[in-house]
Each structure stands twice: as structure tokens, then as C-alpha cells.
Amino acid sequence: MNEQLNKGQGDQFFKERTETNMIIQLIHRYLPFWPLFLITVSMSMSVAYVYLRSQPRIFMAYGRVLLKDPNRGGSESKVLDALNIFGEKKIVENEIVVLRSSSVMQEVVRRLNLYTSIHSKGRVRTEELYGSDAPVSFVALNEDSVTWGGRYDFQVDWDANAIILNEKSYPIGGLITIGGTEYRIVPTKGYNKAAIIGKNFFVEFKNVEG
């Protein structure tokens, strides 16, 4: 019995010794190549970082619209609804057509001032700025007369309280005419003035009709 026990312990020791030797052999085999592994991993991480920095940010937005039938509510209308099987479906389809219409989209563009877009041009990525991320905004005085105006680089001079666009200085809060449309230069409340250091901005004036 002692011999069997010793034999079992010897087999286990031999097995562990063999596995240890294999690990040591693998380490000795690939250890001289550790600079190559380090360079490969560093290059891969650098490429991944540059790729992620160069990609534009993507935001997901969801919304729900409640469609209310103004004809519902009375006892007579309930009887008519029971007889009209496809009435509710037609109402929903009609409302969807209205929501997708160009007139509604144009009204959204006017109310949200989407006819102008401000961008920050960096070394790797060009990023569109929304809301409080932009130093100023350009608001049309007559939103019905907005026309395409093109792209212009500009700089912000907080000391002079002005912007420099197309090599001309325009006071913040004043007016500027682009493509026959007058815009007011509106400063962004609470904007960090130090955030413009080292940044290059440009603005695109678009047409409301797309």
C-alpha cells in the first residue's frame, strides 16, 4: 500500500514538474521577442486611439407623439366609432403624413435655429457644436428669408467683445449680413471663455428648405 501511495505521489510530482518545465520553455522561447510584443501592442493602442478621436460623436434621440382624436368623447361618437372600423387607422396615417411634411420640418429648423451650424476644427476631428458648447450663435432676424450663405472661418475675441469673420470684425450682439440675410451674433450664456484657446471655429449658413 505504501508503494502505491509513493507511486501516486511520484506520478503527481512528475506531472507538475513536466507542466512547469513546459511553461519555462515557453517563457524562454518567446522572452527574446518581448520588444516586438511591446511595440505591436503600443502601435495597436495608438491606432485605436487616433481612430476613436477621428470619429464623430453619434447621439441617439427618441420621442413619442400622442395622437388625440378631437371627435371622440360623446356617446354618439362612440357609436360611430364602433361602425367605422378603419377610422382610427386613417387618422393615425394622416397625422404621420403631417409630421413628415416639409412644412413641419422647416418650422422645426426655424425654431431651433438649425439653419446655421458651428463647428470646431481640430487636428484629428471636426466636431459640430450644439447649444452651450458653441461660443456664439447666429440668429436670423427674418427666418422666412434665410438663404444659403456658405462656410466661413471665424475667431472669437472676448477682449474686444467681437468675432473676426472673413477678415472683418463684428461686435458680439451686433448684426452681420450673409447671403442677403441679416443675423444677430448672440453670445452663449455661461460659456467658458478659456475654452476657445487653441480652437478653430467655422460656421455654415444653410437654406431652410434644405
Judgement on whether residues 86 and 146 belong to the same structural domain of the protein: no
Q: What percent of the chain has pLDDT over 90?
A: 31
Average of pLDDT values for 43-70? 79
Q: Is the pTM of this model over 0.85?
A: no
The per-residue pLDDT for 165 is 94
Instruction: Detail the DSSP E strand segments found in 41-187.
Output: 116-121, 126-129, 136-140, 150-157, 162-165, 168-171, 175-178, 181-187
Judgement on whether residues 142 and 192 belong to the same structural domain of the protein: yes
Judgement on whether residues 126 and 83 belong to the same structural domain of the protein: no
Instruction: Answer yes or no: is pLDDT of 38 > 50.
Output: yes
Q: Is residue 41 part of a domain?
A: no
The SS3 call for residue 137 is: strand
The per-residue pLDDT for 210 is 60
Task: Give pLDDT tens digits for 86-107.
Answer: 555 667 777 778 778 888 888 8
Q: Is residue 37 part of a domain?
A: no
The per-residue pLDDT for 51 is 83
Task: Give pLDDT tens digits for 125-163.
Answer: 888 898 889 999 999 999 888 889 999 999 999 999 999
Q: Is residue 42 part of a domain?
A: no
Judgement on whether residues 128 and 169 belong to the same structural domain of the protein: yes
Q: How far apart are CA 207 and CA 210, in angstroms?
A: 5
Q: Is residue 199 part of a domain?
A: yes
The per-residue pLDDT for 137 is 94
Judgement on whether residues 141 and 67 belong to the same structural domain of the protein: no
Judgement on whether residues 74 and 156 belong to the same structural domain of the protein: no
Q: How far apart are CA 210 and CA 206, in angstroms?
A: 7
Domain extent at residue 117: 113-205
Judgement on whether residues 132 and 193 belong to the same structural domain of the protein: yes
How many domains does the structure of the chain reveal? Answer: 2
Q: Is residue 155 part of a domain?
A: yes
Q: Which of 44, 74, 100 marks a domain boundary?
A: 100
Q: What is the mean pLDDT of the chain?
A: 80
